[in-house]
Structure 1
Amino acid sequence: MPRFTRRALWPCVAAAAVLVAAVLVAPGPAGAHGVALVPGSRTYLCYVDGLQANGQIIPSNPACADAVAQGGQQPLYDWFGVLRSDAGGRTTGYIPDGQICGGGTTKYAAYNAARTDWPTTHLTAGSTIQLHYSNWAAHPGTFHMYITKDGWNPLTPLAWGDLVPFWSVTDPPQSGGPGGFNYYYWDTTLPAAKTGRHILFIQWVRSDSQENFFSCSDVVFDGGHGEVTGVGGSQPSSSPSQSRSASPSVSVSPSASKTPSPPSSSSPSTGGGGGGCTATWQNVAINWAGHFQAEVTVKNTGSSTLNGWTVKWTYTGGQGFDGAPWNGTLTGQPPNVVVKNVDWNRVLGPNATTSFGFNGTGTAPATPPALTCTSP
């Protein structure tokens, strides 16, 4: 399995204060009710890319910048609002070809543009990932997932004939209550043998009304594990064959400054719990006011294969999490943190390593916390 430098694998939820500031600056009322956060939709990742400390939205990504030039900032303040109130589950003929990503609306028409420089999530065909879909307003219903056909040309407007259904889920669990950056989540196995650029399209069909929601996420199947490029100054992949390692991924927290602060001077902290594994903490050189990033590497130090691992530590400075970890499952909340493996990095052979990362709130610990690592 390829190993990339993971500075942000899955788009992370932002602090509520930043959202409030952005809404106060927005020139009109916010809409509703949800789009994909993982893999991130065009409107969500353009919002992340463009949000400034003063609440203005000024994207650095060229596709996002052109969309704002065409349709203004309001569609990104309402990044969760690509919807039709009378859709009733209709697809072909209801929303015209070429207008699918914008839900057939004038407001989001700029996000239908056929181009290859939208923010992009890097994935591995046939892998199982956890989808996150904003629950800005929670409703019962079914999420229908589609992927573009093999041979689809990303420089042509998206048509219904380009899409193939591959997954659906009804009333999945939620990470928290509506009204913030919480989300519905479910595990999905991606179609096998996919390569190059594609669009992952989700239509959320409410079961209690005719209202439907539409979400287009730009993805590239290149062996990635959810790394995002084209956000916050990183370079989007310019062709389906471009290697992920050619353009570093960045933090996609909407509260992140576009200018990272210098790396922490603290040295890595390694700990073990006698369970056949060690865990090593490393502060990452991406920090912004009240937030930091860290990465933890887990190593199997035993002579037999590990079938699952757990890392624990205790915060002493009031630190927390800005969203969920990537490549790890948070099962114990601060100050007594517990992170367990996800499915794809559950098994580690002798001397094998894996890592998980996260955006933290507060100040990065000057002295990394003592870590313990155990296996079942």
Structure 2
Amino acid sequence: MLTHKSDQSGGRSRSTIRRSLQALALLFAMVIGTLPWTGAAQAHGTVINPASRAYQCWQSWGNQHMNPAMQQQDPMCWQAFQANPDTMWNWMSQLRDGLAGQFQARTPDGQLCSNALSRNNSLNQPGAWRATNVSRNLTVQMYDQASHGADYFRVYVTKQGFNPATQQLGWGNLDLITTTGRYAPAQNISFNVSLPDRSGKHILFVVWKASHMDQTYMWCSDINVG
């Protein structure tokens, strides 16, 4: 009888331990789910000035993405975090493979700011995105953590009269203003851009064709041309 009771006690102890471990595993998963995930993002890059939409949201709110003040202070970043926080955690990973230079034909109107990636659809939404103040002559700064280099950058700006607060971006809303040459692998790449006659709120749209393989990146940067 004593042996039998000891087995029951041991069984209950093991069951209690299992339940405790399961609870700890669940808690750990919940905590990890609230932290920035940057594994995939570390191999790529984005335009950091004027800041792309996802980068601006991450830079402004990444450390306080649960702050309810964001809803009033930065409503477009708020809706983006609500839609999919991974869009901001992976601000370096807005790429598509294998476009073979056909980025315009294979990117529908209304999906330019997300690079036609459904997980980033929040970036396509019109509204009061925070804008970087720029002059008509500006320097575009791009950060590429893995130093892929570039076959080229193509830079567009929205036409005068386009309203980023109410309109989704389409190819017909853009003017191509710069096509660069190749850039050697480097983490920091910058080049000068001269805007045509523009004033007020606009979108600077940048296409990056990386050199290491057939990867095409596209970003929207909100600007206020003074």
- TM-score where L is the length of structure 2: 0.75
Aligned residue for 1:137?
146
Hey, what's the Cα distance between the residues in 2 that align with 1:95 and 1:145?
16
Aligned residue for 2:163?
153
1:270-326 C-alpha deviation (Å, 9 max, x unpaired): xxxxxxxxxxxxxxxxxxxxxxxxxxxxxxxxxxxxxxxxxxxxxxxxxxxxxxxxx
Tell me if the contact between 1:122 and 1:221 (Cα under 8 Å) persists in the aligned partners: yes
The reply on whether 1:206 has 2:218 as its aligned counterpart is no
Aligned residue for 1:100?
112
The reply on whether 1:26 has 2:39 as its aligned counterpart is no
Q: Structure 1 residue 173: deviation in Å? A: 6.4
**Residue 211 to residue 149, structure 1, CA distance change in 2 (3 Å):** same
What aligned pairs does 1:16-165 form with structure 2 within 5 A after superposition?
A: 25-27=35-37, 29-31=39-41, 32-52=43-63, 57-58=65-66, 60=70, 61-71=74-84, 73-115=85-127, 117-125=128-136, 127=137, 129-140=138-149, 141-154=151-164, 155-165=166-176
State the Cα RMSD in Å: 2.4
**One-letter amino acid of the counterpart of residue 63, structure 1:** M
Corresponding residue pairs, total: 187
Hey, what's the Cα distance between the residues in 2 that align with 1:48 and 1:219?
16
**Residue 28 to residue 168, structure 1, CA distance change in 2 (3 Å):** closer
Hey, what's the Cα distance between the residues in 2 that align with 1:103 and 1:203?
9
Q: Structure 1 residue 208: deviation in Å? A: 4.1
Report the 3-state secondary structure (helix = DSSP H, G, I; strand = E; otherwise coil) of the residue aligned with 1:51.
Answer: helix
Query: Which structure has greater strand proportion?
Result: 1
Tell me if the contact between 1:173 and 1:185 (Cα under 8 Å) persists in the aligned partners: no
**One-letter amino acid of the counterpart of residue 95, structure 1:** T
Report the 3-state secondary structure (helix = DSSP H, G, I; strand = E; otherwise coil) of the residue aligned with 2:118.
Answer: coil
What aligned pairs does 1:217-256 form with structure 2 within 5 A after superposition?
A: 217-222=221-226
Q: Structure 1 residue 221: deviation in Å? A: 1.0
Report the 3-state secondary structure (helix = DSSP H, G, I; strand = E; otherwise coil) of the residue aligned with 2:110.
Answer: coil
Hey, what's the Cα distance between the residues in 1 that align with 2:93 and 2:36?
14
Hey, what's the Cα distance between the residues in 2 that align with 1:209 and 1:137?
13
Query: Which structure has greater helix proportion?
Result: 2
Q: Structure 1 residue 96: deviation in Å? A: 0.9
Hey, what's the Cα distance between the residues in 2 that align with 1:212 and 1:144?
11
**One-letter amino acid of the counterpart of residue 211, structure 1:** Q
Unaligned runs of 5+ in 2: 1-31
Tell me if the contact between 2:37 and 2:90 (Cα under 8 Å) persists in the aligned partners: no
Hey, what's the Cα distance between the residues in 2 that align with 1:38 and 1:45?
9
**Residue 76 to residue 172, structure 1, CA distance change in 2 (3 Å):** same
Hey, what's the Cα distance between the residues in 1 that align with 2:190 and 2:183?
6
Q: Structure 1 residue 98: deviation in Å? A: 0.3
1:5-39 C-alpha deviation (Å, 9 max, x unpaired): xxxxxxxxxxxxxxxxx9x9335743341111111
Q: Structure 1 residue 90: deviation in Å? A: 1.7
Q: Structure 1 residue 193: deviation in Å? A: 1.9
Report the 3-state secondary structure (helix = DSSP H, G, I; strand = E; otherwise coil) of the residue aligned with 1:25.
Answer: coil
**One-letter amino acid of the counterpart of residue 192, structure 1:** P
Unaligned runs of 5+ in 1: 1-21, 223-376
Tell me if the contact between 2:99 and 2:106 (Cα under 8 Å) persists in the aligned partners: yes
Q: Structure 1 residue 191: deviation in Å? A: 1.6
Q: Structure 1 residue 190: deviation in Å? A: 2.1
Hey, what's the Cα distance between the residues in 2 that align with 1:80 and 1:170?
22
Q: Percent identity?
A: 26
Tell me if the contact between 1:30 and 1:77 (Cα under 8 Å) persists in the aligned partners: no
